[in-house]
Amino acid sequence: MPRFTYSARDRAGKNVADTLEAPTRKDALRLLGARGLQVVAVDETGVKPGRGAKAAAPVSAGAITLTRKHRLPFLQSLHDLLTSGMSAGEAVRLLSVRIKEPGLKLLSGGLWERLSEGAPLSRAMAGFPAVFDSSTISLIQAGEATGSLTETLDRLIAHLNEQRDLRSQLVTALAYPILLIFVAGCLVLFFLFFLLPRLQSLFNSLHGELPLSTRLLVGAANFSLHYGVVIVIAAVLGGISFWRWRQTEAGRATTDAWLLRLPLIGPFIVSQTVLSFSQTLGVLLANGITAVEALRMTERQISNRVHRQAFHLATDRVIEGEALSSSLTKTGCFPDLVLDRLTVGENTGNVVPSLHDIAKNYRRLISSQLSTFVKVIATVVLMAVFVVVGFIAFAIVSAVFQVSASFKMG
């Protein structure tokens, strides 16, 4: 009969570690539960560590692949059941049976399989790294340890909703300029490759001399017809090469540094870093995560590599005993007003409320920056369209008048 080693806590909260024999792992868990023990870990003797965990952590089934997009819907469904009085295990079991969406059903079933074997919810979630990141797992673990899982989920869901809304706002803001660029490009191509060749045939048949603007337009059209494919292929290959280089750490750090120097984009990236830092750190600290662990998790949420490296160095200084506001000041990446608010929060013992206030203000600031960014881009695109279309119209009209005049004279 298989032998299992286990660690658990008895009713008095004392840690217990021993071995027992049972036909299966589930039988071992039932035996330990019958003894009144709260199981922490159960492993079969002779099984290589990590082998079972690796076999029990699928993230896809057939055509279904679990990704980060399943995280928020699952947590919202779990939160709704927990607020009705269910335990985490009962809620996950019910979701695995009742939920209809294939991806969420697969996720709930996988979590319930681990929970039924005695794993806590945080450890069960760790088996799905494609869905739950380390910050989410740590927050759930803290909620389980403090008995405030429902409140933790409430804060986590609010945090994830804010991030989703910001991404949606960014996509919506960029949609209009992209549409303008697309329409402008189609209009220019229509003039160059459809209308202009017909007008050129007409001008040639009249044997009139074309003005300079029309000759430039015709030359540009002919150049595009002969070498346009080569230029497009070269641009695509260059774009792919640049993208692959950016995926490397050196390329990402270099391009992130370039972006910080650009007008409008640089200040927007700084605002994004401040918002990500204040939101994530505030949620982590509010849920009982230790300061050092919370800072390391927050560091991974900062997308700009220059800011991430600066934040990493600041965290090292905090570990050495320096105040967070003083450490961040030395990075030169954070606005003075943010550092002043953080300093006040540290001096008064209200760091978490200060972080929440900073996040609230920067959500409004980012919305304003996005609005300004869209207006600037839209204005630039419209002006470019007017210039190009105006030049084409001027070249065509001037050619018509000049050819007509020369035809009359002739």
User: Does the structure show a pLDDT above 80 at 38?
Assistant: no
User: Does the structure show a pLDDT above 60 at 246?
Assistant: yes
Question: Per this entry, what is the length of the chain?
Answer: 410
Reduced to 3 states (helix: H, G, I; strand: E, B; else coil), residue 320 is coil
E strands present in 195-276 = none
DSSP 8-state class, residue 248 = S
Torsion 207-213-214-220 (CA) sign: positive
Domain ranges of the chain: 3-47, 61-132, 148-410
| pLDDT over 90, % of the chain | 11
Beta-bridge mates of residue 43: 5
Q: Which of 171-185, 256-270, 272-286, 394-408 has the lowest mean pLDDT?
A: 394-408
Distance of CA 197 to the CA centre of its chain: 47
- Provide the b/e sequence for 346-381 (b: ≥16 CB within 10 Å): eeeeebbebbbebbebbbebbeebbeebbeebeeeb
User: Does the structure show a pLDDT above 50 at 125?
Assistant: yes
**183 Cβ contact list (under 8 Å, min separation 6):** 385
How far the first Cα of the chain sits from its last, in Å, is 111
Mean pLDDT on 13-32: 74
- pLDDT score, position 168: 84
The predicted-structure confidence for 347-399, as pLDDT tens digits, reads as follows 888 888 999 899 889 888 988 888 888 788 878 878 887 888 788 788 878 87
Q: Are 339 and 328 in contact (CB under 8 A)?
A: yes
